[in-house]
């Protein structure tokens, strides 16, 4: 369970809140899409949730635990996949997974079992012995996703997870997100692509300029596409050019 209560963030001396009194409740087993154009405040909300940022006002609870009051306990419940994968290039895939498993105190047996399972699911078994510096962007995204699942967290948080993934990798990731939610986890991810949110989520929240402007099922969203009040925003969100397609085998 994730709950945002009036979560607000004002950066520095800005006169506008990047996140403005966000209220959300996301239950166990829910696959929740947090949809909004670039600059809407999605990453800010996620950074508050994961404890990387302090709220200016309001609070965030995960499974009833206040993320500001009990940050260590809260972090243990969350598996987080950030929006950029500029990390630990010198490690191999498996070394990275062991590093993540060490942080969360995962037993040797569990890390091996989960690591092998997810490497298989994400078609990364062959590459797991190679250095991350040799990985494509999509492969980095996949190893980061596995790393975020190595402690089997009840809450999985992903920031723009589909950006830069080739269709096959995006498919595998979406399947895993759905599977985790079906198994009872809370899966919360951000996207600026309307289609992604409509296709796979149980529930969607739309944020614009720091404010939640609507929430509902994908069916509700589709039904409201023609609303004058939302039409312009939907047009922006369906602009395919926003997403930069990158090749799976694009290497550094």
Ligand X SMILES: Nc1ncnc2c1ncn2[C@@H]1O[C@H](COP(=O)(O)OP(=O)(O)O)[C@@H](O)[C@H]1O
| DSSP β-bridge partners for residue 4 | 24, 60
- Kindly write out the interface string for residues 19-38 of this chain, putting x where it contacts ligand X by CB under 6 A and - elsewhere: -----------------x-x
Under the binding rule (CB under 6 A), the answer on residue 197 touching ligand X is no
Under the binding rule (CB under 6 A), the answer on residue 41 touching ligand X is yes
% helix, strand, coil for the chain, step of 5: 40, 25, 35
Stretch of 24-32, 42-50, 129-137, 227-235 contacting Mg ion, by CB under 5 A: 42-50
Under the binding rule (CB under 5 A), the answer on residue 43 touching Mg ion is yes
Distance CA(88)–CA(197), nearest Å, equals 30
Residues 120-139 that bind ligand X (CB under 6 A): none
**What sign for the dihedral angle of Cα 28, 18, 83, 237?**
positive
Point out the residue whose Cβ comes nearest to Mg ion.
Answer: 43
- Size of interface with Mg ion, in residues (CB under 5 A): 2
Which of ligand X, Mg ion, none does 18 bind, CB closer than 5 to 8 A by kind?
ligand X
Q: How far is the CB of 190 from ligand X (least distance, A)?
A: 6
For residue 195, give Cα distances in angstroms to 222, 227, 236: 10, 17, 12
Q: Which helix (H) or strand (E) holds 62?
A: strand 57-62
Under the binding rule (CB under 6 A), the answer on residue 18 touching ligand X is yes
**Helix (H), strand (E), coil (C) string for 10-47:** CCCCCCCCCEEEEEEEECCCCEEEEECCCCCCHHHHHH
Q: Which parts of this chain interact with ligand X (CB under 6 A)?
A: 11-12, 18, 36, 38-44
Q: Which parts of this chain interact with Mg ion (CB under 5 A)?
A: 42-43
């Amino acid at each position: 369970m994730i709950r945002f209560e009036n979560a607000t963030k004002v950066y520095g001396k800005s006169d506008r809140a990047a996140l403005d009194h966000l209220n959300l409740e996301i239950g166990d087993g829910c696959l929740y899409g947090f949809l909004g154009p670039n600059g809407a405040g999605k990453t800010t909300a996620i950074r508050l949730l994961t404890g990387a940022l302090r709220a200016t006002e309001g609070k965030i609870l995960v499974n009833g635990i206040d993320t500001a009051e009990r940050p260590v306990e809260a972090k243990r419940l969350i598996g987080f996949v950030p929006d950029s994968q500029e990390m630990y290039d010198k490690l191999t895939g498996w070394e990275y997974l062991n590093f993540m498993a060490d942080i969360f105190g995962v037993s040797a047996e569990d890390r091996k079992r989960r690591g092998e399972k997810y490497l298989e699911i994400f078609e990364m078994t062959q590459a797991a012995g190679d250095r991350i510096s040799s990985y494509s962007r999509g492969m980095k995204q996949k190893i980061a996703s596995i790393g975020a699942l190595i402690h089997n967290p009840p809450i999985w948080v992903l920031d723009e997870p589909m950006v830069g993934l080739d269709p096959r990798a995006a498919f595998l990731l979406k399947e895993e997100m759905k599977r985790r939610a079906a198994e009872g986890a809370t899966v919360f991810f951000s996207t600026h692509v309307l289609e992604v949110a409509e296709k796979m989520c149980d529930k969607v929240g739309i944020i614009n300029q720091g404010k939640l402007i609507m929430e509902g099922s994908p069916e509700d969203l589709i039904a409201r596409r023609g609303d004058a009040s939302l039409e312009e925003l939907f047009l922006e969100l369906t602009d395919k050019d926003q997403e930069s397609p990158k090749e799976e085998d694009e290497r550094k």
